[in-house]
Amino acid sequence: MSRPAPTSRPRLARGCRISEQEGQESMLLMPEGAMRLNPPGLKILRRCDGQHTFAEIVSALQEDFSASSPERIAEDTALFLERLRERRAVDYE
């Protein structure tokens, strides 16, 4: 599996957006598809704006999951992003 470098800046691919509607689950909407987002997923994707680096995204998650090791969080985040990249929902260098 290829994975984002710490300095890469992931961004949502064209035509993909987060839907956060009052009283409804947060969703990632993409061409002819949708994915429910849990709180960590939402936190990651909100930062996939081409500004935050992968390392910054991981450290933001660290605040919420201080019990997990940084390696584990980085690993899970990379896996999450890589799956979305294969679905053409996320881009990164």
Partner 1 sequence: MTGPLALIAELTHRCPLHCVYCSNPLQMKQRAAELTTAQWGEVFRQAGALGVLQVDFTGGEPLARGDLVELAAAARQAGLYLNLITSGIGLNEDRLRALVAAGVDHIQLSFQDVNEATADQIAGARAHAYKLELARRIRQHNLAFTMNVVVHRQNLERLPQVIALAEELKADKLEIANVQYYGWALENRAALLPSERQLERSLATVKTAQERLKGRMRIDFVVPDYYGKYPKPCMGGWGRKLMLINPAGDALPCHAAGVIPGMRFENVAVWPLRRIWEESEAFQRFRGEEWMPEPCRGCERRGQDFGGCRCQALLLAGDAAATDPACSLAPQHAVVAGVVAQANSGPAAVSGMAAQPPARANWVYRSNVR
Q: With contacts defined by CB under 8 A, how many residues of the chain interact with partner 1?
A: 19
- DSSP annotation of 1 reads -
Smaller CB separation from partner 1, 21 or 38: 21
Partners of 34 in the β-ladder: 29
Lookup result for tokens 């890469």: 8
The nearest distance, CB 14 to partner 1, in angstroms, is 5
| Binders in 18-77 for partner 1, by CB under 8 A | 19, 21, 24, 27, 29-32, 34
Distance (Å, whole) CA 53 – CA 37: 20
Smaller CB separation from partner 1, 17 or 43: 17
Smaller CB separation from partner 1, 24 or 38: 24
86 binds partner 1 (CB under 8 A): yes
Is 7 in a helix, a strand, or coil? coil
